[in-house]
Amino acid sequence: MDKFITLTGIAAPMPLVNIDTDMIIPKQFLKTIKRSGLGVNLFDEMRYDRDGNELPDFVLNQPAYRDAQILVAGDNFGCGSSREHAPWALLDFGIRCVISTSFADIFFNNCFKNGILPITLPQEAVDVLMDDARKGANARMTVDLENQTVSTSDGQEFHFEIDQFRKHCLLNGLDDIGLTMEKAESIDSYEAQMEQARPWV
């Protein structure tokens, strides 16, 4: 998993509330167990018409936001069914951070496990960030995980809270496997002891 330390990038405004996981990645794309290749189908039903043509009004189809790395979203982002494909699709598109007033719990947890930083802020702060995102590609936000701040393109700064264990994992690029591998020496030592003590196992 890639480390998340500081991110400066384009933020796309998505003010819709209750964006659920089926909107993020529709059910027909859940057959794969690969984490790659899902970005093209991110927000599929909002991005494309029935013939597969891009809908020009959708924010991520607009030239200013095609390389967005941050989403500023409406309330209750990631609600609905508990599909890990949702953060996979966001990450594969290039989204590393989602900012909202609230998230569904399972989606929120899945983001951290896949290297995406979900930031919860009060409505007043999200409104300011949403307005900044609407400025387009020339307005780049900065997310500083170490100092737990989000800064607008003109320098207005907001502090966010984060669980310190999750912060540690993101800063060091540690998913569940990475956390286990941090204990590799102890695991190897234990297995060697067990092999001597119980060679018949």
In a domain, 189, yes or no: no
How confident is the model at residue 14, as a pLDDT?
Answer: 98
How confident is the model at residue 36, as a pLDDT?
Answer: 81
Pair 116, 91: CB distance under 8 Å = yes
Range of the domain at 164: 6-174
In a domain, 141, yes or no: yes
pTM recorded for the entire structure: 0.88
Length of the chain: 201
In a domain, 197, yes or no: no
In a domain, 190, yes or no: no
In a domain, 192, yes or no: no
**Chain centroid offset of residue 138 CA:** 22
| Beta-strand runs (E) in 6-136 | 6-14, 70-73, 97-100, 117-120
Residues of the chain with pLDDT under 50: none
Q: Which amino acid is at 146?
A: E
d(CA 190, CA 14) in angstroms, rounded, equals 50
Give the number of domains in the chain: 1
DSSP codes of every residue in 10-21 = EEEEE--S--BH
Q: What are phi and psi of 57, to 5 degrees?
A: -80, -20
In a domain, 27, yes or no: yes
d(CA 35, CA 2) in angstroms, rounded, equals 14
Nearest Cα to 158, choosing from 168, 166, 150? 150
How confident is the model at residue 111, as a pLDDT?
Answer: 97
- What's 89's domain CATH number? 3.20.19.10
In a domain, 15, yes or no: yes
How confident is the model at residue 197, as a pLDDT?
Answer: 75
Pair 121, 150: CB distance under 8 Å = yes
In a domain, 179, yes or no: no
